[in-house]
Amino acid sequence: MVSIETLKCFEPIASLPEPRLRELAGLCQLETLGKDSDPFAVWGKGQAVYLVRGELMLTFPDGSAKVLVGGAERSRYPLARRGEVFTRAKSLTEVELLRVDDDVLDVIATWDQIAASEGAERKAKKAEEPSALANWTMMSGMFSVSSLKYGAFSQLPPAHIDELLRRFERIEVKKNDVVIREGAEGDFYFVIENGRCKVERMVGGVSMLLAELKSGDAFGEEALVSEVKRNATVTMKSDGSLLKLSKGDFVELLREPLLRRVDQDEARAKIAAGAQWIDVRYPSEYQYDRLPGAINIPLSEIRNAFGALDKAKEYVLYCQSERRSAAAAFLLAQRGYRAYVLAGGLWGEARRK
């Protein structure tokens, strides 16, 4: 893995906060090429390439040439930077190169700069509390590089990112505080900034543990997406702090922009192209009238599918109406899965017949 100190040698990477550098380190590629090699012979499009060490000669269309040396000021910036066109590259010595996805850098820079500017604005106004997401870079899961690039937030219009950062509110919580109570109306969407929670549901008069959540995890979206009452109780297992977003802001900034609905024809085309049906209803419903080829992951168990499903594959989720499938699709989208909702659910299909 690339070291943090190595990443700090390059721009604009060096401008990123250290928590992001640690995550980015696992997404970069280091490679060593021998003398007289052409490093761009296997250069993938959409990559930023940096010279870590060694000497590299670039030849330009007018016949001029330039020698770059690893560690020099020019080498702090990507090779083939915007506007610089060369016809040939040749290593004069053994060279070491660092490659990183351009989109990854751009996504991280966007979020970091918006968060920084919002924090600066609050400071200028002498706001007593820091921005709710001033510490967003410290959180895993929901705000990981993977989620920002491939997950739910990657679909957000830039203007929504700024508003999202502004509208989150930080609250301090204590161990054993009940944040959400089963059966209550849904009013807020929560992200755990730090601390741990447990999710429980009453089954046959007995409280059953469904999940344990940590920093970076989100909860409370199911009732807001499905517009039903809370289906579980969430209690703090430790002291901590939460970021909360009101139902109105959640619907405006997250639910509607991020839920991707497909009609029957679009869904079947996706399935024919290799997508997978996921039935999020109870097993008894699934057994009765499931769609051909569908797998059953009930909404209550969808979190257990994180890590088991393939992020390279598309999934079309359905239930009777689309309420449960919308909630499940949102949960998957937050984790970077390519999830779609069958518009109208099975009821919609029945009405077409």
Catalytic residues: 319
**How many Å apart are CA 153 and CA 155, to the nearest integer?**
5
How wide is the angle at C-alpha 19 spanned by C-alphas 80 and 43, nearest 5°? 25
Q: What is the DSSP letter of 8?
A: T
Query: What's the rounded Cα separation, in Å, for the pair 264 and 293?
Result: 15
List of residues 6+ apart from 214 with CB closer than 8 A = 140, 141, 192, 196
Indicate the pairing of strand 338-342 with strand 314-318: parallel
Give counts: helices (H), strands (E), the chain.
12, 19
User: For residue 41, is it left (φ>0), alpha (ψ between -120 and 50) or beta?
Assistant: alpha
Instruction: Using DSSP, state whether 310 is helix, strand or coil.
Output: coil
